[in-house]
Amino acid sequence: MTSFTTLELQVDGAVARIWLNRPEMRNAIDDVFIRELGEAFAQAEAAPGVRAVVLGGRGPAFCAGANLNWMKRAAEFTPEQNLQDAAGLPRMLRTLHESRLPVIARVQGDVYAGGMGLVSVCDVAIAAEGANFCLSEVKIGLIPATISPYVIRAMGARAAQRYFLTGERFSAAEAHRIGFVHEVVPADALDAKVDEVLKNIAAAAPGAVSECKRLLRDVTGERIDDALSDETVRRIAALRAGEEGQEGLRSFLEKRKPSWVSR
């Protein structure tokens, strides 16, 4: 595994854990962070037997948004350099969003600006009760442009209208109410809840999980018409005839665990 300067990658059996690890900077995002997080996900996907990724943060904040020193440097870039530099974050977010592995956000602390983008591209988000959330870009004359497609999907357009425009901070309870996180638990129960989600993922067929992720990306927001119906029929038919589908059916009829579940 590569050694990183902004994060840690730990692979333990079926789970890869990526820890954002600059607590003194509240895990702020910069060009090095963006590059390393993309590389860490590539390594997690390539690691044999990994079934899921947990994304967590060290220290008091999960991710407090952009590193101010990085933003100061960007202010001196030419327009062309600014475009090139800005393109790194959407590439990294797509890497996480399109990962074949389910990704769980373990949110232990504050989530601001670009950190909201990180949480929104995860498949499951579990937050500690004390976490706070904020789309703060308008406070400094910017907009949450790059993260907006993912954040709007996660919290819905109506909630985004408020929090994009006001830049106000909101609680974990509010993040749960609007659907941005799936569950809120006491801080000392956070790891147990993440492990519970991992246990359920481990009981599911890995190929089917990956196909579910692709299905969600392809179907969400699409018009329900004959073409979409035909495509969904094609996908389920292919999986029924596939190795996992056949094994799942046999294991059910034979009243045993399927091959992908540890004995």
How far apart CA 60 and CA 245 sit, in angstroms, is 44
pLDDT of residue 70: 74
For 137, the 3-state DSSP assignment is helix
Q: What is the mean pLDDT of residues 43-56?
A: 96
Residue 9 pairs in a beta bridge with 18
Statement: residue 55 has pLDDT above 60? yes
Statement: residue 71 has pLDDT above 60? yes
pLDDT band for 80, please (50, 70, 90 cuts).
confident
SS3 per-residue string spanning 36-78: HHHHHHHHHHHCCCCCEEEEEECCCEEECCECHHHHHHHHCCC
Q: What is the pLDDT of residues 129-143, one digit of tens each?
A: 999 999 999 999 999
Is 80 part of the annotated catalytic residue set? no
The active-site residue, picked from 137, 174, 211, 244, is: 137
Statement: residue 83 has pLDDT above 90? no
Q: What is the pLDDT of residues 2-16, one digit of tens each?
A: 789 999 999 999 999
Q: What percent of the chain has pLDDT over 90?
A: 81
Q: Where are the alpha helices (DSSP H) in the chain?
A: 31-46, 68-75, 79-86, 88-97, 114-120, 148-155, 157-166, 172-177, 190-202, 206-219, 226-241, 243-253
pLDDT of residue 3: 82
Q: What is the pLDDT of residues 199-250, one digit of tens each?
A: 999 999 999 999 999 999 999 988 999 999 999 999 999 998 899 989 888 9
**pTM of model > 0.75:** yes
Q: What is the pLDDT of residues 141-199, one digit of tens each?
A: 999 999 999 999 999 999 999 999 999 999 999 999 999 999 999 999 999 999 999 99
pLDDT of residue 1: 61
How many CB atoms within 10 Å of residue 4? Answer: 19
Q: What is the mean pLDDT of residues 31-50?
A: 94
Q: Residue 75: how many CA atoms within 13 Å on its side-chain side?
A: 9
Among candidate residues 188, 194, 169, 152, the one with its CA nearest the CA of residue 56: 194
